[in-house]
């Protein structure tokens, strides 16, 4: 008799429930669920949020909102973004990994893992209810019960499914998570959590918010936070748009206002979702193609936007934080980022000359006079970063500087006695005479 030839390779549920949830923070898990809602809105309303930056006049979301409600024992995310169809729910939404191409073009769902991982990260009892124009369903997941069913049976069941008899009032999805994990309860009870989460949402989804999407946490609305750049006649931010395969890439680089105390860096977006926030590490080239990040570069603002109809072509990681550095696309962008950033960094370096001058360098003068412009209003023409310091430098040379020094009265009196032109002069005049005399002696006539 031949012995059994099988070598076990099948996945275990505890890998999904207990292992891959470890790399994820509570905020990231909540954002994964938000992605789901935004995806539905993008699909229904065909809004491309890149147009916020690319044309300044985006097609806007109409009445699209996501409400996050955090209670001591329960998390609820509710949207009115159109709902999930029964067929999608049956065949793909609840599957681990996405066997087919993602259904939403230009959306945020990539790998078919984010939503399930978020469930497991946050709690042990999940109810997903959704309602479209024509149909509705409810799925209830008791995670412990599901896990105990063993590694053969991975499926979930509808608790309720059917067609609407009349046009429903609500078309959207509601996810309710309870039996929260102890770390989650700990995070939620921290005073700063709601504030942190709102800040995260305000930057991660800034472009969605700009395009009219409403997101709130415990009824407090998130407000888009996009960095501003300086622009003036003497200063033009860099802007370059190009394609790598079917991916649209937009790069902007410039300088934030002097009054802006935030230390910036590179902001990277994939299909509207921010995946790197003010990055100052090697991931965006600092210390590699660019000099190491330094506080003197705090005013550098760089923006990279990737967009593709096929989300799989974008360089995002499964957590949607950070980028896949090795990807060919990202390397191509990185090369361009370095070239565009260099003149900005040269400018910022010029702000801090080795010697202290009385009036400050021309760079500082230009920076003070330039006006802050929101990223969406940066002139939409291709340009490299340009600064015209010539005028500043010229006027700087014609300006006068006060030189002050002290000498003994008896020496000044001696000098006045020896130089007839100074006989009745004040000390100030003596000083000026001394300078002019030295200038002529040492440098000769002009």
Partner 1 sequence: MSQALPRSYTKFDYALRPSKQVERKLIIEILHTLNQDVSELKLREYQYVGFGSPYYTDFILFHKYLYITRMVCVEGTPIPKRMAFNKPYEFIKLWMGPFSGYLPSVDRETPAIVWLDYDTQLSRDHLSDIEGACNVLPPGSFLFVTVDADVRVPDDLDVPERSDDQKTDDTAERYSEEFGRYLSRPVARRDLTYANRPLLFATVCAAAVRECCQRRSLGYQQLLNVRYADGAQMVSIGGLIGTKEQLEAARRSSVHALHFVGPGPTPLSIAVPPLTVRERLWLEQHLEGPELEFELDEAMAESFRKLYRYYPVYNEALL
Binding residues for partner 1 (CB under 8 A): 238, 240, 288-291, 328, 331-332, 335-336, 338-340, 342-343, 346, 383-386, 390, 393
Nearer to partner 1, 94 or 305 (CB): 305
Nearer to partner 1, 250 or 274 (CB): 250
Minimum distance, C-beta of residue 331 to partner 1, in the bound complex (Å): 5
Minimum distance, C-beta of residue 342 to partner 1, in the bound complex (Å): 4
Minimum distance, C-beta of residue 290 to partner 1, in the bound complex (Å): 8
| Paired tokens of 366 | 């230009």
Q: Give me the helices (H) in 6-113, please.
A: 13-14, 26-45, 51-54, 86-88
Task: Name the DSSP letter for residue 286.
Answer: B
Nearer to partner 1, 149 or 296 (CB): 296
CA atoms within 13 A on the CB side of 391: 8
Minimum distance, C-beta of residue 387 to partner 1, in the bound complex (Å): 9
Q: Give me the helices (H) in 151-215, please.
A: 182-189, 193-204, 206-210
Minimum distance, C-beta of residue 340 to partner 1, in the bound complex (Å): 5
Minimum distance, C-beta of residue 338 to partner 1, in the bound complex (Å): 6
Non-local (6+) Cβ contacts of 200 within 8 A are 27, 31
User: Residue 136 to residues 41, 126, 129, 158, 185: CA-CA distances in angstroms?
Assistant: 17, 17, 8, 10, 31
| DSSP SS3 for 165 | coil
C-alpha dihedral sign at 421, 423, 425, 428:
positive
Q: Alpha-carbon dihedral of residues 351, 374, 36, 185, nearest 10 degrees?
A: 60
Please answer whether residues 230 and 378 qualify as being in contact, where contact means their C-beta atoms are separated by less than 8 angstroms: no
Q: Which residue has the tokens 């209670």?
A: 71
Count other Cβ atoms within 10 Å, centred on residue 226: 20
Nearer to partner 1, 389 or 422 (CB): 389
Give the full edge-to-edge strand order of the sheet including 172-180. 158-163, 135-142, 123-131, 172-180, 74-79, 65-70, 214-217, 220-221
Minimum distance, C-beta of residue 284 to partner 1, in the bound complex (Å): 14
Minimum distance, C-beta of residue 254 to partner 1, in the bound complex (Å): 12
User: What is the chain's percent helix, strand, coil content, to nearest 5?
Assistant: 35, 25, 40
Nearer to partner 1, 204 or 392 (CB): 392
Nearer to partner 1, 36 or 392 (CB): 392
Minimum distance, C-beta of residue 355 to partner 1, in the bound complex (Å): 13
Nearer to partner 1, 221 or 289 (CB): 289
Nearer to partner 1, 354 or 420 (CB): 354
**CA-CA distance, 85 to 44, in Å (whole number)?**
12
Nearer to partner 1, 77 or 348 (CB): 348
| DSSP SS3 for 120 | helix
Question: H/E element holding 131?
Answer: strand 123-131
């Amino acid at each position: 008799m031949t012995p059994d030839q099988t070598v076990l390779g099948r996945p275990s549920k505890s890998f999904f429930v207990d292992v891959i949830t470890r790399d994820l923070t509570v905020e990231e898990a909540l954002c994964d669920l938000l992605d789901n809602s935004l995806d539905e809105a993008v699909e229904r309303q065909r809004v491309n949020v890149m147009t916020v930056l690319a044309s300044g006049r985006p097609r806007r979301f109409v009445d699209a909102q996501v409400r996050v409600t955090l209670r001591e024992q329960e998390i609820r995310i509710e949207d009115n973004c159109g709902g999930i169809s029964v067929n999608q729910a049956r065949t793909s939404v609840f599957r681990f990994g996405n066997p087919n191409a993602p259904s939403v073009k230009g959306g945020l769902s990539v790998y078919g893992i984010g939503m399930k991982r978020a469930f497991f990260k946050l709690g042990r009892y999940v109810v997903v209810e959704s309602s479209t124009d024509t149909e509705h369903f409810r799925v209830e997941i008791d995670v412990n019960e599901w896990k105990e069913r063993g590694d053969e049976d991975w499926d979930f069941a509808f608790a309720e499914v059917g067609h609407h008899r009349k046009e429903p009032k609500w078309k959207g999805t509601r996810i309710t998570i309870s039996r929260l994990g102890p770390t989650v309860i700990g995070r939620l009870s921290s005073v700063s959590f709601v504030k942190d989460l709102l800040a995260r949402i305000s930057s991660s989804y800034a472009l969605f918010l700009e395009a009219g999407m409403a997101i709130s946490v415990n009824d407090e609305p998130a407000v888009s936070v996009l960095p501003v750049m300086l622009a003036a006649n003497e200063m033009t931010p860099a802007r370059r748009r190009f394609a790598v395969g079917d991916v649209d890439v937009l790069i902007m680089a410039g300088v934030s206002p002097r009054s802006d105390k935030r230390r910036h860096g590179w902001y990277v977006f994939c299909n509207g979702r921010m995946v790197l926030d003010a990055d100052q590490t090697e991931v965006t080239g600092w210390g590699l193609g660019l000099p190491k990040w330094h506080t003197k570069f705090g005013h550098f603002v760089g923006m990279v936007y990737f967009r593709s109809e096929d989300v799989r072509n974008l360089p995002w990681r499964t957590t949607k934080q950070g980028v896949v550095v090795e990807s060919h696309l990202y390397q191509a962008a990185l090369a361009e980022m370095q070239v565009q950033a260099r003149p900005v960094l040269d400018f910022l370096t010029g702000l801090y000359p080795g010697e202290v001058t009385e009036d400050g360098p021309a760079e500082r003068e230009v920076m003070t006079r330039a006006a802050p412009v929101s990223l969406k209003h940066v002139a939409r023409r291709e340009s490299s970063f340009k600064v015209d310091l010539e005028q500043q430098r010229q006027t700087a040379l014609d300006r006068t500087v006060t030189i002050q020094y002290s000498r003994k009265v008896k020496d000044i009196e001696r000098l006045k006695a020896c130089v007839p032109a100074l006989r009745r002069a004040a000390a100030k005049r003596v000083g000026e005479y001394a300078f002019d005399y030295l200038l002529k002696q040492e440098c000769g006539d002009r």
